[in-house]
Structure 1
């Protein structure tokens, strides 16, 4: 795999030094065999940062991810007055929480294209007393945040989408978060619910939070609840989607963050595509992240899996197409789309319409790039169908979407002539992805 020399990755608060070159993936000559430990979970890192920042006392976070999405979160918490020391080399963050009330009375927060960061911090800022503005790059200004804004208005929060588009930038005139009952739509993103849940224990009175309609990506909400409870929050759910959160806040503690299960999906897929055997350390069936369920999809396609207390091993076998609902693990749907061309029949990915509101319209983007490779791919309102067939060389557009780059790199492990444009977009969640993939594939050269 000839990746060349990757230039210095840009500072998270700037769009300068973006990589505009293309890397060409060199196919492996045999099965990919090896062991890998992905970096810490982005989803867990940003949730733990929010909760620890709101806690009483000091917290030590270990295993944290150092990426663009986590750096913009760290920088924003500092702007909100949180005392924080980040040792990127040691993957640790030490911070002292604000006991539920940000200390500053104004702040401008720049979140690039980090959806978790802007949504979680929007809810956090309502706990303060002052004026706050949250914004991001061009794509961020196209990503919806209206459902969260409308939910907060139900509690009389003074909050507005500045451009009237239901997207950032967001302006807040905060005076603390009162208690009460509110509802939030669950069909576009579970992050709205997670943002409200994490802020609620620091409200002035109890909050009853109800989900309106079908909730997408329920495992991410369960992850949020587990992090909250680990820091001492009380949460009741008498009926599915009906949450009662009494005031009480959080207590600082030491908290270890498990490896990123979404990132692990690429290495499991490498084993599946090449008939190899890959062990991912630090994850298990009991992981907080629902995306370990991607392994079950690969098993459904014909692979074998071994689940241990602190590792998961995937053994590649002849693949068959599947028809699968990916709603709960939608961050791995692009990975499945990269595996599907090597199966013996078509693969249908269902119930992922909310992917259209991610870093890009991921449904349309995946279909476009599969067609660029010469494959037949059908776009549906809720997903897509991939038909295996002959492929042609192609340079893949990544749409400034880290998961497009990482997923389609896998196709190049089997098919020659696959180039990945703007590989530096992986800095968003996994800056060392191509180095780690090369290391894993080295024995298959």
Structure 2
């Protein structure tokens, strides 16, 4: 999707405290990991709770083109994917794999392609072509795959031919993207002698790597170890299974943040205290800012009295970096400054999630400063309406939507970008403010 800047979205102002119970989509991060594991298993797997949106659709399309059919059915509003795994056998190329705007899909499919004979051309939309993938391409080359850049090394388009044959050890930086680490981990059980991956820098977003390990183990992969600067995965293969995908904690941050921004209480169903996802910790961040949080086995509730103001915090968000835009928006409503640290690497996400985020919030009159490793948000008396650009980034769009609950005249350009992860987001946000009798 290229985006349409002529289309704008407005959000209904909240005229009082919000009281809502929200169901968020299944986790696309978990679903895409499970799809790769199921594809590499030998036999039929069932993934209950396929995430809606472009990322999952792109993954399903790529697997189908590689000879791994995914039969998707819907029941009671929940999508289930029946995957016919091939044990690592991929159709011979030439095959073109379009990953659209999906970062996880592009990285996971690039690694998957290294298991087959090729050639496989992996490409995506223009914003995805700009995102760096050099460490992953370098690592696949070190594993014996043939990696041929279409234009610039370390970017899409790229042509991959395998099969990768393994290596004694490979090294990549850990502070650029955990998706590189995950991509290699996912194919490691089918690589001769497995994977020994050294990290030259500290691992960012480690909770996502822990999710990868958990999903892999659910599909029968064994002997997976994640240390400070070292990841090892044994050659073991995968077994077909039935896997239930939990609600997406990153998506849950938006309705939970609505309770913080406006005041009131929001419950997210299905996301409980035993969640695999590091982003589930966001409710605790809101608690630090003055909200009341209740988390049980099957739900999370965030509450704030409107006469109890939010206060700013100083926080390292390296392990929950996708939620920086959400927290930045909440911080504009706090009475004291907020400092977000440890997230310099998010400049190379779908957008520059520091510079672009700050530039758009400045249009509203927010006092926000970009630092080398994060942001500082100072309180301001009043925010004014403006038209905000989303920079092809679903997380910016959904975060900006929260401010529409409390800022009159706010318009969000290219609102359809939310289809990447939550196609019905605007309807869900519209249902949060209470209706007048």
Normalised by the shorter chain, which TM-score bucket?
over 0.9
* Equivalent position of 1:298 in the other structure: 286
Q: Counterparts in 2 of 1:390-405, with a 5 A limit? A: 390-405=382-397
The residue aligned with 1:4 is none
Superposition RMSD on alpha carbons, in Å? 1.6
Matched, 1:87 2:73: yes
Mapped to 2, the partners of 1:440 and 1:64 lie a distance apart of 24
Q: How many angstroms apart in 1 are the aligned matches of 2:172 and 2:6?
A: 39
Matched, 1:355 2:346: yes
Equivalent-residue separation in structure 2 for 1:122 and 1:443 (angstroms): 47
Task: Give the distance between the partners of 2:94 and 2:416, measured in 1 at CA.
Answer: 33
Offset at residue 330 of structure 1 (A) = 0.7
Aligned to 1:373: 364
1:424 alignment counterpart: 416
Match of 2:187 among 184, 188, 199: 199
Q: 1:55 corresponds to which residue?
A: 41
* Map 1:321-332 → 2, pairs under 5 A: 321-332=312-323
Q: Contact 1:126/1:177 (CA < 8 Å) preserved in 2?
A: no
User: Equivalent residue of 1:434, what SS?
Assistant: helix
SS in 2 for 1:234: coil
Paired with 1:73 and 1:374, the residues of 2 have a C-alpha distance of 40
Q: Provide the TM-score with structure 1 as the length reference.
A: 0.94
Residue 211 in structure 1 maps to residue 203 in structure 2: no
Once residues 283 and 58 of structure 2 are traced to their aligned partners in structure 1, the CA distance between those partners, rounded to angstroms, is 31
Query: Is 1:313 aligned to 2:301, yes or no?
Result: yes
Kept in 1: contact 2:142–2:167 (CA 8 A): no
Contact 1:202 1:247 in 2 (8 A): yes
The SS at the match of 1:223 is helix
DSSP 3-state at the match of 2:148: strand
Which of these residues, 176, 181, 186, is aligned with residue 169 of structure 2? 181
| Residue number in structure 1 paired with 2:139 | 151
Counterpart selection for 2:128 from 137, 140, 146: 140
Instruction: Report deviation, 1:82.
Output: 0.4
Residue 291 (structure 1) shift: 0.3
| Structure 1: distance between partners of 2:384 and 2:84 | 54
State the SS of the aligned residue for 1:286.
coil
Map Cα deviations across residues 42-67 of structure 1 (whole Å, 9 max, x no partner): 10111111111111111111111120
In structure 1, C-alpha distance between the alignment counterparts of 2:78 and 2:269, rounded to whole Å = 18
CA distance in 2 between partners of 1:265 and 1:135 (Å): 30
Pairs aligned (count): 431
For structure 1, which runs of at least 5 residues remain unmatched after alignment? 1-13
- Give the 3-state SS of the residue equivalent to 1:205 in structure 2: coil
Q: Which runs of 5+ in 2 are unaligned?
A: none
1:345-392 CA-to-partner distances (Å, cap 9, x unmatched) read 111111111111111101001110111001211111111111121211
Q: Distance in 2 between matches of 1:43 and 1:419?
A: 29
Shift of 1:236: 3.3
